[in-house]
């Protein structure tokens, strides 16, 4: 832990007072000193959108933005987060409309089971914040710490690229379709 | 066509997944909830002499401690393998077998107290491999099975294969090994159990098979099934890893009953590796006799499976290492021997492709070698020998539509195969393979003649439609399929249909998300229920519009006269009129697959209402100095019957390719012995995501997906499966491409740099198994292939 960080105040029952900003809102809570940021988000703040797949920094499911930087919340001690700014998947959209990344993930098949999706979205947001016209290689590099066991990643790349275009002011694009070699498509309902 | 079938629409559940609002099992919590941790065995094989719980009970915050004494009744997924106890009673069988459970006020207290459980063991010899299992009759890991440490051994002769080989122009023999690997679903298992205020025990859990968990929990807990409700929230991937009823689910339920409070357990990643139920390691010997044209006169497969410590689906897995061997290429006669052994390792079970990827890996490399020897192009051989549509196989599987030739032609054309195969220059290569898979098992896991899937529809006078089905959304998109099919029949959009799934109290039984059964079986049930609802509405609309019922059309939320579409009513008005005329509008539909043609014992594994087909060409670059294999591109074609949603189908195909590449190149569930001073126990080599390598974005090549549509009359709107089949051709296509690149054979998965280098240095230019141990096979069932007479029954005579 960085010794320049303010020493958190210890409350009754050994809990620490933690004041931080989560998705732009100031939160003040008492937390167990052994907890990770991931545990505090999920268990103390009820923000279960951020997922866990290993608690060892191996899968990327728990990615959040910490002061704008991509961080694995399972590897960050909560006591290090005083006065810092955390952005989770719940903070991607402002209001009922989906963020362009969220809409693109939904439309381009980038979320199958949806379990890696929150971390994947946060990592994608991090790369597009820096480079809205990131190339596929740059996207792949940026997402290389995020495991997905469902998609094979291609539809995720396409969604990030599609969201990048929207963020650059272009119209949303339709999802890429597989080549279909058809034959007599009207078979009726079957059986 | 106005309906949603075939359109690239957003999945109905996509919004929750991208906003983080989807509630997975571990996202659930309740007031007053307790947390549970399991104390697991630290030794691979031992008798339990005593369990000392005093220190655990005395620890802060502990509310309950349970042991095997609380669970005298055994369970297991298959009726023939009821060999698990929710907590071990007398023996432990692998490092990780749960011995006790501690329930405490928070997770940390439970974890600390679980470490205080003291178990005294009498160590038994560790059985580490199938070879050791075959050579060690005592001690037995289980007191049942086919003798010693053999769990199950089966033998079938479909015609006289030795005679066919004797008369063959050439006979080929190969040995292959397919390494075990695990599902690695990103979501770890979690269960929340509680008694609801009405006294109903509720188990919310990561399960692909809530119906089977329901049955197992009722059996072990001694409760009537109607006092238990199982909920299967959406899951963060399953791939077969959440298909067994698990000990932690039943223990959490018991703990909730004992404490009267909600009890939650969330497994760590290491514990998920210990739950396993993943791909069986399989050693294979294949022999094939061909005539001058390369036609397979006889084919023989022997498989030896490393089953791990419990039965799980193992009996079915054993049959599956032989069942689908016949479904791609014509073979006149077929011989299958399969043997599953118990070993002191986490139990193996079903993973995507269940028992089929292993022999498919062997067969497709075997054929590549046969073609090389015969001077035949392996793509052309496959096309020439492809099974005919609407035919019976040597083992009496009834095959309907087959898109195999079109799949092969598509990947051959897309990859530039004809000009590029054997022609890419040193270090670069192309490999091809094809495969078949089933669209649901023809028989249920426990014998019964009830439907495999049921769907109930409720139409309300506001125009709302709710579809209830016990099906389980594991990420594959089954909820969307349900909504989409109901919407198609009723002229609605999928987003107009609310679905209630994964709930044994609210929805009719669906057997679960396994064997690629859901789209076909749930889909047919949904179409039947929706068609019945449509008839009610059509009747009411025909009376109101004063037109014959045949003229009533449904589209875009309206019910109208197809002769004059301007004359009609809204869907909501049609429901209200139907409700007025005949009462509440609720309908049901159900599906049961056709009876198998096979009439011999064991013939129940393999039959399916339809088979999907896949073909792939893989391009690799192999570095001869490091042995590193880099996959440059994959062309894959899948015979989908009909793509209900092309974006979702593409995702399933590419996800299967991804998982197949992981298995081909890096994934392995391997074990090692600790040094003697550290107990010498057999432990998991890599129970973490860092050590268990799986492909990241940087490992994944470009995939070109082609769908072959040839609607199958048994599928809803012609649809067949896509969740598992496209994985099958990938591992052998990689191995065949490595041969094209550097002319060495790696007859063993995963194709690691070490193995490629070893093959490059070996005089045989091969790495892979070199022997198959002696197995005492049971007397074979002899069944004539359909073209040699007979009726699919077995004549039991001395082999």
A vs B, Cβ pairs < 8 A, gives 243
Nearest by CB to A178, from B690, B700, B706: name it. B706
What is the structure's pLDDT at A190? 46
What does the pLDDT average to over B625-647? 98
Distance from CA of B61 to the nearest CA of A (A): 14
What is the structure's pLDDT at A185? 47
Task: Check CB contact under 8 Å for B17 and A178.
Answer: no
Q: How far apart are CA B408 and CA B390, in angstroms?
A: 19
A108 chain-B contacts, CB cut-off 8 A: 647
Give the model confidence (pLDDT) of B6-30 as tens digits.
Answer: 999 999 999 999 999 999 999 999 9
Look up the CATH number of domain A100-167.
Answer: 1.10.150.120
What is the structure's pLDDT at B676? 86
What does the pLDDT average to over B228-246? 98
What is the structure's pLDDT at B632? 98
Q: How far apart are CA A167 and CA A171, in angstroms?
A: 9
What is the structure's pLDDT at B795? 84
3-class state of residue B457 by DSSP: strand
If we measure between CA atoms, which residue out of B152, B149, B142, B97 comes closest to residue B128? B149
What is the structure's pLDDT at B686? 85
Mutate to test the interface with B, among A61, A101, A141, A154 (most CBs of B within 10 A): A154
B247-259 helix and B210-221 helix, angle to the nearest 10 degrees: 50
Q: How far apart are CA A84 and CA A4, in angstroms?
A: 14
Q: Show which of residues 64-83 on chain A sit within 8 Å of chain B, judged by CB atoms.
A: none
- Percentage of residues in chain A having pLDDT higher than 70: 89
C-alpha to C-alpha distances, B703 to B617, B636, B717, nearest whole angstrom: 10, 7, 27
What does the pLDDT average to over B83-90? 98
Task: Check CB contact under 8 Å for B713 and A153.
Answer: no
CB of A190 within 8 Å of a chain B CB? The answer is yes
Residue A73 clears pLDDT 90, i.e. is over it: yes
Give the model confidence (pLDDT) of B336-364 as tens digits.
Answer: 999 999 999 999 999 999 999 999 999 99
Give the model confidence (pLDDT) of B290-324 as tens digits.
Answer: 999 999 999 999 999 999 999 999 999 999 999 99
What is the structure's pLDDT at A11? 66
Q: Show which of residues 91-150 on chain A sit within 8 Å of chain B, judged by CB atoms.
A: 92-93, 98, 101-103, 105-109, 111-118, 121, 139-141, 143-150
If you measure CA to CA, which chain A residue comes closest to B13?
A106
Give the model confidence (pLDDT) of B428-476 as tens digits.
Answer: 999 999 999 999 999 999 999 999 999 999 999 999 999 999 999 999 9
B248-262 in b/e form (b: 16+ CB < 10 A) is bbbbbbbbbeebebb
Q: How far apart are CA B709 and CA B676, in angstroms?
A: 58
Nearest by CB to B24, from A58, A92, A115: name it. A115
Average pLDDT across chain B, whole number: 97
If you measure CA to CA, which chain A residue comes closest to B29?
A43
B714 chain-A contacts, CB cut-off 8 A: 190-191
Look up the CATH number of domain A15-91.
Answer: 3.10.20.30
Q: Write phi, then psi, for B101 (nearest 5 degrees).
A: -130, 140
Task: Check CB contact under 8 Å for B185 and A190.
Answer: no
Indicate the pLDDT class of residue B71, thresholds 50, 70 and 90.
Answer: very high
Please name each of the domains of chain B with its CATH number. 25-124+186-237+242-275 (3.90.1170.50), 282-443+599-782 (3.30.365.10), 450-591 (3.30.365.10)
Copy the structure tokens of residue B793. Answer: 């029954």
A188 chain-B contacts, CB cut-off 8 A: 717
Least confident range from B124-133, B134-143, B609-618, B678-687: namely B678-687
Higher pLDDT pick, B228 / B794: B228
Residue A188 clears pLDDT 70, i.e. is over it: no
CB of B410 within 8 Å of a chain A CB? The answer is yes
DSSP state of A41: I
If you measure CA to CA, which chain A residue comes closest to B184?
A149
Q: Which residues contact B279 (CB under 8 A, 6 or more apart)?
A: B178, B179, B180, B181, B182, B348, B351, B357, B358, B663, B669
What is the structure's pLDDT at B799? 44
What is the structure's pLDDT at A191? 42
What is the structure's pLDDT at B681? 87
Indicate the pLDDT class of residue B790, thresholds 50, 70 and 90.
Answer: confident
B524 chain-A contacts, CB cut-off 8 A: 190-191
Nearest by CB to B717, from A121, A149, A189: name it. A189
Cβ atoms of A121 and A101 within 8 Å: the answer is: yes
Q: How far apart are CA B39 and CA B523, in angstroms?
A: 42
What is the structure's pLDDT at A7? 59
What does the pLDDT average to over B534-543? 98
Provide ipTM, 2 decimals.
0.97
Cβ atoms of A62 and A74 within 8 Å: the answer is: yes
What is the structure's pLDDT at B516? 97
Domain extents in chain A: 15-91, 100-167
What does the pLDDT average to over B384-401? 97
Q: Show which of residues 165-184 on chain A sit within 8 Å of chain B, judged by CB atoms.
A: 174-184
Task: Check CB contact under 8 Å for A177 and B689.
Answer: no
- Percentage of residues in chain B having pLDDT higher than 90: 97
If we measure between CA atoms, which residue out of B598, B602, B515, B596 comes closest to residue B152? B602
Considering the entire predicted model, what is its pTM? 0.97
């Amino acid at each position: 832990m960085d010794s320049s960080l303010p020493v958190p105040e210890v409350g009754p029952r050994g809990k620490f007072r933690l004041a931080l900003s989560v998705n732009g809102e100031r939160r003040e809570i008492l937390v167990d000193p052994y907890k990770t940021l991931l545990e505090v988000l999920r268990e103390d703040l009820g923000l279960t959108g951020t997922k866990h797949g290993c608690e060892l920094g191996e899968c990327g499911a728990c990615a959040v933005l910490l002061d704008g930087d991509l961080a694995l919340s399972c590897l960050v001690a909560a006591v290090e987060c005083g006065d810092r700014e955390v952005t989770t998947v719940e903070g991607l959209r402002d209001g009922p409309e989906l963020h362009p990344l969220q809409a693109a993930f939904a439309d381009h098949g980038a979320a199958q089971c949806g379990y890696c999706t929150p971390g994947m979205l946060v990592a994608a947001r991090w790369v597009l914040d820096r480079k809205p016209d990131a190339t596929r290689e740059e996207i792949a590099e940026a997402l290389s710490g995020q495991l997905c066991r469902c998609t094979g990643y291609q539809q995720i790349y396409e969604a990030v690229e599609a969201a990048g275009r929207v963020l650059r002011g272009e119209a949303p694009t339709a999802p890429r379709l597989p080549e279909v070699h058809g034959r007599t498509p009207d078979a009726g309902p079957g059986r | 066509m106005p309906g949603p079938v075939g359109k690239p629409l957003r999945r109905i559940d996509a919004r929750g997944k991208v906003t983080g609002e989807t509630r997975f099992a571990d996202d659930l919590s309740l007031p007053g909830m307790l947390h549970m941790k399991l104390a697991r065995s630290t030794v691979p094989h031992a008798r339990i002499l005593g369990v000392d719980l005093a220190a655990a009970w005395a620890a802060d915050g502990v509310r309950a401690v349970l042991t095997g004494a609380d669970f005298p009744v055994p369970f297991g997924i298959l009726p023939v393998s009821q060999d698990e106890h929710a907590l071990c009673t007398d023996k432990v069988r692998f490092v990780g077998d749960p011995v006790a459970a501690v329930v405490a006020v928070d997770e940390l207290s439970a974890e600390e107290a679980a470490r205080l459980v003291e178990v005294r063991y009498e160590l038994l010899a560790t059985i580490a491999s199938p070879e050791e299992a075959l050579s060690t009759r005592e001690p037995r890991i289980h007191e049942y099975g086919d003798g010693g440490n053999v769990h199950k051994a089966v033998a079938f002769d479909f015609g006289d294969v030795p005679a066919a080989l004797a008369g063959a122009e050439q006979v080929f023999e190969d040995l292959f090994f397919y390494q075990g690997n695990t599902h690695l679903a990103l979501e770890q298992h979690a269960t929340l159990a509680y008694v609801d205020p009405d006294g109903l025990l509720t188990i919310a859990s990561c399960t692909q098979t809530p119906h089977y968990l329901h049955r197992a929990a009722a059996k072990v807990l001694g409760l009537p099934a109607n006092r238990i409700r199982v909920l299967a929230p959406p899951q963060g991937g399953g791939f077969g890893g959440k298909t067994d009823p698990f000990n932690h689910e039943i223990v959490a339920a018991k703990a909730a009953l004992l404490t009267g409070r909600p009890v939650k357990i969330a497994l760590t990643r290491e514990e998920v590796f210990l739950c396993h139920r993943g791909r069986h390691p399989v050693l294979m010997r294949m022999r094939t006799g061909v005539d001058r044209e390369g036609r397979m006169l006889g084919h023989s497969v022997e498989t030896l499976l490393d089953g791990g410590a419990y039965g799980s689906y193992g009996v079915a897995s054993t049959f599956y290492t032989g069942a689908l061997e016949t479904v791609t290429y014509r073979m006149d006669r077929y011989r299958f021997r399969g043997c599953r052994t118990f070993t002191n390792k986490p139990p193996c079970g079903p993973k995507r492709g269940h028992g089929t990827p292993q022999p498919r890996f062997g067969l497709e490399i075997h054929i590549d070698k046969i073609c090389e020897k015969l001077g035949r192009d392996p793509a052309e051989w496959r096309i020439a020998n492809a099974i005919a549509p609407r035919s019976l196989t040597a083992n009496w599987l009834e095959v309907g539509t087959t898109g195999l030739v079109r799949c092969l032609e598509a990947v051959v054309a897309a990859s530039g195969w004809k000009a590029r195969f054997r022609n890419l220059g040193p270090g670069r290569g192309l490999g091809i393979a094809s495969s078949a898979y089933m669209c649901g098992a023809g028989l249920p896991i426990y014998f019964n003649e009830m439907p495999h899937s049921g769907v109930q529809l409720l139409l309300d006078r506001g125009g709302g439609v709710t579809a209830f089905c016990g099906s389980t959304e594991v990420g594959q998109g089954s909820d969307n399929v349900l909504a989409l099919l109901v919407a198609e029949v009723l002229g609605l959009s999928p987003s107009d249909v609310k679905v209630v799934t994964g709930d044994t109290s609210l929805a009719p039984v669906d057997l679960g998300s396994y064997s690629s059964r859901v789209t076909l079986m749930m889909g047919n049930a949904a179409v039947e229920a929706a068609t019945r609802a449509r008839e009610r509405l059509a009747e009411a609309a025909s009376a109101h519009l004063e037109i014959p019922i045949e003229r009533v059309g449904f589209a875009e939320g309206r019910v109208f006269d197809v002769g004059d579409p301007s004359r009609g009513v809204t869907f909501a008005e049609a429901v209200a009129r139907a409700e007025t005329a005949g009462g509440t509008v609720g309908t049901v539909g159900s599906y049961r697959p056709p009876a198998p043609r096979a009439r011999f014992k064991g013939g129940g594994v393999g039959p399916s209402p339809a088979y999907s087909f896949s073909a792939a060409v893989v391009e690799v670059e192999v570095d001869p100095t490091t042995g590193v294999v880099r996959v440059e591109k994959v062309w894959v074609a899948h015979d989908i019957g009909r793509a209900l949603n092309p974006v979702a189908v593409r995702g399933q195909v590419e996800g299967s390719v991804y998982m197949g590449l992981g298995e081909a190149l890096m994934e392995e569930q391997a074990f090692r012995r600790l040094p003697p001073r550290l107990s010498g126990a057999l432990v998991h080599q890599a129970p973490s995501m860092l050590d268990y390598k799986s492909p990241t974005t940087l490992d994944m090549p470009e995939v070109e997906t082609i769908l072959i549509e040839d609607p199958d009359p048994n599928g809803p709107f012609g649809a067949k499966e896509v969740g598992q089949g496209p994985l099958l051709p990938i591992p052998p296509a990689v191995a065949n491409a490595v041969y094209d690149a550097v002319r060495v054979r790696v007859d063993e998965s995963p194709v690691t740099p070490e193995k490629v280098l070893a093959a490059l240095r070996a005089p045989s230019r091969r790495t892979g198994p070199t022997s198959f141990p002696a197995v005492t096979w049971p007397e074979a069932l002899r069944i004539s292939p359909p073209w040699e007479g007979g009726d699919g029954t077995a004549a039991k005579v001395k082999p």
